[in-house]
Amino acid sequence: MRNLLLGALCTYLLGCIDASQQTIRKTQGLVYCAEANPVSFNPQVTTTGSTIDIIASQLYDTLLSIDPETAEFKPEIATHWQVSNSGKAVTFYLRQDIEFHHTSYFSPTRSLKADDVVFSFNRLFDVYNPYHFVGDASYPYFQSVGLDQLIRQVVKVDDYTVRFELFNAESSFLSNLATDFAVILSKEYADHLAAIEQKDLFDMYPIGTGPYKYKNYLRDNLIRYHRNENYWKHPVPMQQLVFDITTNGTSRIAKMLTKECDITAHPSATQLSVLNERTDIRVDKAPNLNIGYWAFNTEKPPFDNLLVRKALAHSVDFEKIMQAVFYGNGIIARSHLPPSSWAYEAQKNMPAYNPDYARQLLIEAGFEQGFSMTLWAMPVSRIYNPNARKMAELIQSDLKQIGISAQIIEYEWNTFLERIGQHEHDSVLLGWAADTPDPDNFFSPLLSCTATFSGKNPANWCNPEFDLLLTQALDTTDVEQRKVFYHQAQRMIIEQLPLVPIAHGMRFQATSSDIKDISLRPFGGISLGKARRD
Amino acid sequence: MLFEYLLRRLSLLLFMVFTLTVFTFSLNYMFPGELLSNITGQINPTYEQSQELIQQYQLDKGIFIQYLAFVERIVQGDWGLSLSSGQPVFEQIVKLFPATLELCVYALAMAVLFGIPGGIIASVYHKRWPEKVINSLSLLGFSVPIFWLALLLIMVFCLGLGLFPMSGRIGLLYEVDPISNFILLDIILQSFPYEGLAFVDALHHLALPTVVLAMYPTTVLIRFTRDSMLDVLEQNYIKTARAKGLNRRQLIMHHALRNALLPVIKQIGLQFSTLITLAMITEVIFSWPGVGRWLIDSIYQRDYPAIQGGLLAVSMFVILANMLAEFSHTLFDPLSRNQAHGKV
Amino acid sequence: MAKFSLFSEESNRSPLSRLWRKFKSNHPALVGLWVFVALTLLAFTAPFIAPYGINQQHGDALLLPPSWHELGDVRFILGTDDLGRDVLSRLMNGATFTFGLSIVAALVTTLIGVVLGTFAGISKGFRSSLLNHLLDITLSIPSLLLAIIIIAVLGPGLLNTVWAIIFALLPQHIHSVRNLVVEELNKDYISAFRLDGASKWQILTRGVLPNIYEHIVVIFTMALSTAILDIAALGFLKLGAQPPTTEWGAILAENLSLIYLAPWTVGLPGVLLFIAVLSTNLVGDGLRQVLKGRKVD
């Protein structure tokens, strides 16, 4: 009875709204279903991919970028740049027509100038910068690639020219500046907040130069951006960009089906078939530079023992994981680097599934009785691991066969990363999606000693030999020479097994088919500035 | 008499609030984690900060003083900071509670609208097919797990037929400024933005959660109304009236209904507490931005200040709703004022 | 309904057999009872009769539909889930957790409820007043909320859930039993008994309890249906049983991501839950009707 009545009411209401609903949607904007709350609104202070997707290209611009097709540098805020002969100084010439966002909380009085660039980079490494210690002075990306150790100083030459002076020439410097993390912030806004003693707000209420500007943010619900009418690059078609924060992957798909979302981040592979059946939804698939791995806390016994790590690696059937977790939408890892990277070398001695051998290794290591350990599974679905929980359960049952009882641990995403950063785990299922095509991006931010100190090294692995290889590779610009070093690095990872590379995921994105001009990039976050609805 | 009754109720209310605050206060000690961060929500404060906070919250004093400081803080609206977001807990609750309340009120209205007539019809057709149908339906509704019902409805109405959206209070592209935080009220206050479409959209979003949430209280009200009616119809004065030759219609409309509905009124109020709990599940499934979903998220994240604040707010509300229910019942039924002890 | 009957033997049957006769004539309730008994048996024997282990993964048979489907496999009657685990075995074992633990929780609650409720019923004065007020407070908080509060303190987990539900159901129980006891104590035959010099203990064991135990069974069924719903709801909210525990609510939540690919993995646990609660309610309702009818007699 009740349903009947309701049904009648609905058909009545539906009749009149369907048409006008469409027009409103068309002009109003775009809804993007994001999978997690942003950690911050400043890309400098985080490396979390879900956050970068939401904030980086939408709110900010960088000095230069990398063309996704040709992999060449492209001018952005800088019209052109010059690298000195020694490679130790790089001069950028800036555009003169770039305006910062006008919002309810700040109205800029001047356009972007060299001061802003100097301020943005000084914050990262200059302890005298008033904002350096705002937050917890952690700039994980820059610290993990050692950029804070590399830049001697950033000098304003004139209002529209900036010179970066480096301690030594480094081949990946420009590509690091082209990442989503190296954004340009407003110095005027920073000074304004400092004057009213509200420096804490700087990273939560963003002022940038990007295609959208911040309107409001309701934790666990939504983030709303409005269009930046004065965007320098091109007119922005959408009036609004709304991020619907939906942590549950199934809900994201469902919202896609009910048209509550226009774009869905990382639809899980299990449900791709449902989306593929629909004509009004487009599923884009692109190779992506990433790696999903199982890292051991190598500082914590018994995982400091190579034999134990080896035993664990040999006890798990990764083929089964590929089938059950990736549903064939991933590439099983043959090295730490994905095959599409130029420094890739397939490893011959990847650990193969062999429980008997694993048991033998355990006995050798003195653990005949087995032991119990924690297995941390990240709670969100990422490219490199669409369902860590399920993967953890598979691993758990495999480990049981060699007498190891694993306890699966889950936390909310940001808490999870925080605790991993404090090395509370025994082992963790995590991954890395590259920000630049440079191979170094897979090593320094993840497995170097500096990454250990900044809490970004999930294996807690600091090996001076390995670090030396990385430094050597960075010190030379000769590609062949670099290749040699990176091949050695890859071999070393498989020999030492601080982590077991599992798979490289494909990047998927479900988009309503009337949305145009969104491109998937093989690295870095998504850019929605040009998105429009037909 | 009424005054004396009120006084008695008020003292009971005070006693209940006292117990509740003692309980929430003791939660600070029962939760794992450090006492200071449980209370204040400050993670890893510096030495000076923690000294200052200890001073402020009188944590160096005896337990009784601590409790007083705690109550003072609660009354002032300083409910600490959320561990996971760093936002003041009280502010968040104020923002989220109206959403939950809104959902509950509509569901309750729906339950009353269908439950009471349903129960009356069942009693009128006692032992005939309408009663049997209503009874079976209510038994089904009574037994279905609410989260499963919600999933079924989503499968059918959102994904299958595409009639309703499945999450949130309103389409996200509609920008409605929060004034009262009651969405429909806000839309009306802003004189129907988007040519009234926002209002229609909000109604659409309300439909499924309301039905799901209303299911259980509706069945309870049906059963309760029916039983109460049947009881009344058995009574002697009704028999007398029937002997005098009144027809069934007159009997029910003029004599039985009033007396039968008295206990139902109280029951309606008591349903509020059940509703609030069920709303937590409903909110989680329909991503309704209310206090229930927030509380459950806080439990996942072991966000102790938030859990504490959420519990305090929800329980306080339940107690108040029960009090109000009983009070309104007393207004209608003077006989019930005589009870010495609190009886439910 | 007072009827003239020539032979009085019939009414001399024991109350229990009369109850059973009446109950039998209510067919839905009878069906409910059979289902109830079947589920109870299943709950205790599931680990022995389930065809596969709950965590036994079949890598060659992922996401098989139920066997009557054309893609199904007879080995797995209700199909498999995404890890290749047999759905039937998991659901059968789920009965142990959801239904079995609910019975345990309801039994424990009833037991404590009867003891404390009787105590509350016979106590007088300040003690009674304080007890009643305390009861009122906890009563005003619904069981699921109370359970959530307790879990917030104890942390998520199946055992904690059971504790929480016992705690949460107790106030209601004590209250109902107290009311029953008070009502019975006010009856004339008890006064007569008391005047005959019976001690408090005798009044309770010989007078009150034999006359209210059927009502206690009704209360037990109510507690049971609440317990099932609460355990499942908490499992669903991931506050109760944690996967891979096969509690029905937890299975449902775990398989939610498969709802498009394998709807049976979500539908079946829900159906079972529904059946379990429905059968319990049918039994309870049938019993209540019989008791009510007796009063009229």
Q: pLDDT at position A356, please?
A: 92
Looking at the structure, tell me whether residues B245 and B268 fall in a common domain.
yes
CATH number of domain containing B246: 1.10.3720.10
Domain boundary among B24, B47, B76: B76
pLDDT at residue A10, as a whole number: 47
Q: Which of A250, A271, A394 sits opposite C83 (nearest CB)?
A: A394
Choose the weakest-confidence range: A516-530, B146-160, C165-179, C274-288.
A516-530
> A455: phi > 0 → left, psi -120 to 50 → alpha, else beta; which?
left
Residues of chain B with pLDDT > 70, as a percent, come to 96
CB C159 within 8 A of CB C198: no
Neighbours of A116 (CB within 10 A): 26
- Does residue B82 belong to any structural domain of this protein? no
The helix (H) or strand (E) run that includes residue B73 is helix B63-76
Low pLDDT (below 50) residues in chain A: 1-17, 19
A288 Cβ neighbours under 8 A, 6+ residues apart = A338, A383, A433, A504, A505, A506, A507, A522, A523
CA distance A517 to chain B (A): 20
- In 3D, which of A280, A343, A293 has the Cα closest to residue A488? A343
Here the tokens at position B233 are 């119809």
Please check the confidence at residue C38 and state whether its pLDDT lies above 90. yes
Cα–Cα–Cα angle for B42, B45, B47, nearest 5°? 145
> DSSP string of A517-531?
-----SSS----TT-
pTM given for the model: 0.83
Total number of domains constituting chain B: 2
Query: Using a CB-CB distance cutoff of 8 angstroms, which residues of chain C are in contact with residue A270?
Result: 82, 257-258, 261
Q: CA-to-CA distance for C134 and B309, rounded, in angstroms?
A: 22
Residue B275, in any domain of the structure:
yes
Per the prediction, chain C carries an average pLDDT of 85
pLDDT at A8: 47
Alpha-helical (H) ranges within B144-256 are 146-153, 183-189, 197-233, 236-243, 248-250
**Residue A157 confidence (pLDDT):** 93
Partner residue opposite C236 with nearest CB, options B147, B277, B342: B147
Are residues B158 and B36 both part of a single domain? no
Q: Which residues of B touch A258 (CB under 8 A)?
A: 158-159, 162, 165-166
Ramachandran class of B26: left when φ > 0, alpha when ψ lies in -120 to 50, beta otherwise = alpha
CA neighbours within 13 Å on the CB side: how many for A245?
Answer: 18
Write out the residues of chain C at the interface with chain A, using a CB-CB cutoff of 8 A: 55, 57, 59, 62, 82-84, 243-244, 256-261
- Touching subunits of A (3+ CB pairs, under 8 Å) are B, C
Peptide bond into C244 cis (omega under 30): yes
Q: Answer whether A202's CB lies under 8 Å from A133's CB.
A: no
Q: pLDDT at position A25, please?
A: 56
Residue B277 lies in a domain: yes
From chain A, the residues in CB contact with B197 under 8 A are 17, 20-21, 24
Query: Which residues have a Cβ under 8 Å from the Cβ of B224 and sit 6 or more positions away?
Result: B119, B263, B264, B267
DSSP letters for C30-74: HHHHHHHHHHHHHHHHHHHH-SS-TT---TT--SPPPTTSTT-BT
DSSP state of C77: T
Give DSSP secondary structure letters for A279-297.
Answer: SSEEEEEE---EEEEEEE-
Q: Which residues of C touch A274 (CB under 8 A)?
A: 260-261
Q: Which residue of A has its CA nearest to C84?
A: A324
Check whether C63 has a pLDDT greater than 90.
Answer: no
pLDDT (tens digit, 9 = 90+) per residue, B178-221?
Answer: 888 888 888 888 888 877 888 888 899 999 999 999 999 999 99
The residue in chain A having the minimum alpha-carbon distance to the alpha carbon of residue B202 is A13
* CA–CA distance, A44 with C174 (Å, rounded to integer): 59
Check residue C271 and give its pLDDT: 94
What's the token pair of residue C155?
């942390």
**Å between C58 CA and nearest CA of chain A:** 10
Q: For residue range B6-62, list pLDDT tens digits in order.
A: 887 788 788 888 888 888 888 888 877 777 777 777 766 777 777 877 777 777 778
Could C145 and B315 be called an inter-chain contact, meaning their C-beta atoms sit closer than 8 Å?
yes
pLDDT digits (tens, 9 = 90+) for C114-156: 998 888 888 777 777 777 777 766 666 777 888 888 888 888 8
What is the spatial distance between Cα A274 and Cα A256, in angstroms, rounded to a whole number? Answer: 11
Quick check: is B9 in a domain?
Answer: no
Cβ–Cβ contact B200 with A under 8 A = yes
Q: Which helix or strand (DSSP H or E) is residue C275 part of?
A: helix C263-296
* Class of residue B306 by CB neighbours under 10 A (exposed 0-12, middle 13-18, buried 19+): buried
Chain C residues near residue A406 by CB distance under 8 angstroms: none
For residue C82, give the DSSP letter: T
Per residue in B74-128, pLDDT (tens digit) is: 888 888 888 878 888 999 999 899 999 999 999 999 999 999 999 999 988 888 8
- Which of A16-20, C6-10, C55-59, C155-159 bottoms out in mean pLDDT, i.e. has the lowest? A16-20
**Distance from C-alpha of B222 to C-alpha of B112, rounded to nearest angstrom:** 9
Nearest CA in chain B to C125: B341
Instruction: Grade residue C4 by pLDDT with cuts at 50, 70 and 90.
Output: low
Note whether B334 and B200 are same-domain residues.
yes
**Shortest Cα distance from C234 to chain B (angstroms)?**
9
In a domain, B1, yes or no: no
**What ranges do the domains of chain C cover?**
17-58+92-296
Quote the tokens at residue A126: 């200059």
Same domain, B109 and B238: yes
Count of pairs with CB atoms under 8 A, one residue in A, one in C: 39
Q: Are B207 and B301 members of one domain? A: yes
Is B329 inside any structural domain? yes
CATH code for C17-58+92-296? Answer: 1.10.3720.10
> What is the four-CA torsion angle of B19, B25, B30, B31, rounded to 10 degrees?
130
Over residues C59-87, the mean pLDDT reads 84
Q: Do A221 and B168 touch (CB under 8 A)?
A: yes
Tokens standing for residue B197: 């479409």
Q: Is B181 on the interface with A (CB under 8 A)?
A: no
Distance from CA of C122 to the nearest CA of A (A): 47
Q: Yes or no: say if A260 and A390 are a contact pair by the CB < 8 Å rule.
A: no
CB contact under 8 A, C270 and B152: yes
Q: Find the helix packing angle between B89-124 and B304-332, rounded to 10°.
A: 40
The 10s digit of each residue's pLDDT in B252-283 is: 888 888 888 888 888 888 888 888 889 999 99
Q: Which two tokens stand for residue C47?
A: 């680990």
| Nearest residue on chain C to A394, alpha-carbon basis | C83
Looking at chain C, how many residues does it have?
A: 297
Q: Tell me, what's the pLDDT at A16?
A: 44
Spell out a b/e string for C232-254, using b for 16 or more CB atoms within 10 Å of the CB, else e.
bbbbbbbbbbbbbbbbbbbbbbb
Q: Is B5 among the domain residues?
A: no
Band (C213; pLDDT cuts 50, 70, 90): confident
Cα dihedral sign for B15, B21, B23, B29?
A: negative
The residues with which A32 forms a beta bridge, in sequence order, are A243, A263
Question: What is the residue range of B230's domain?
Answer: 89-340
Does the N-terminal peptide bond of residue A386 adopt cis geometry, omega within 30 degrees of 0? no
- Contacts for A144 with CB less than 8 Å, ≥ 6 apart: A47, A444, A445, A446, A448, A450, A451, A454, A456
Residues B65 and B93 reside in one and the same domain: no
Residue C103 has pLDDT above 90, yes or no: yes
Question: Distance (Å) from the C-alpha of residue B310 to the closest C-alpha of chain C?
Answer: 10
B133 and B268 housed in the same domain: yes
Strand A222-227 relative to strand A405-409: parallel, antiparallel, unpaired?
unpaired
**In Å, how far is A25's CA from the nearest CA of chain C?**
27
In this structure, how many other beta carbons lie within 10 angstroms of the beta carbon of residue C77? 15
**Which chain A residues in 239-258 lie under 8 Å from chain C, judged by CB atoms?**
248-250, 253
In C, minimum Cα distance to A257 occurs at: C260
**How confident is the model at residue A139, as a pLDDT?**
87
- C-alpha angle with apex A178: A173 to A184, nearest 5 degrees? 110
Tell the burial category of A30 from Cβ atoms under 10 Å away from its Cβ (0-12, 13-18, 19+): buried
Distance from CA of A111 to the nearest CA of B (A): 29
Count of C-beta atoms within a 10 Å radius of residue C119: 17
Q: DSSP letter at A66?
A: E
CA distance B225 to B119: 5
pLDDT of residue B340 exceeding 70, the answer is no
Angle between helices C158-185 and C209-236 in degrees, nearest 10: 150
Could you please report the per-residue DSSP string of C85-149?
-BHHHHHHHHIIIIIIHHHHHHHHHHHHHHHHHHHHHH--HHHHHHHHHHHHHHHTS-HHHHHHH
The shortest CB-CB distance from C55 to any of A253, A320, A397 is to A397
Largest CA distance in chain B: 85
Task: Kindly indicate the confidence band of residue C71, based on its pLDDT and cuts at 50, 70 and 90.
Answer: confident
> Which residue from B minimizes the CA distance to A259?
B165
DSSP one-letter code for A407: E
Q: Is B63 part of any domain?
A: yes
Fill in the amino acid letter for C48: F
Interface test with C, best of B25, B136, B299, B326 (most C CBs within 10 A): B299
Please tell me the number of Cα atoms within 13 Å of A343 on its side-chain side.
26
- Strand-strand pairing, A290-296 and A372-377: unpaired
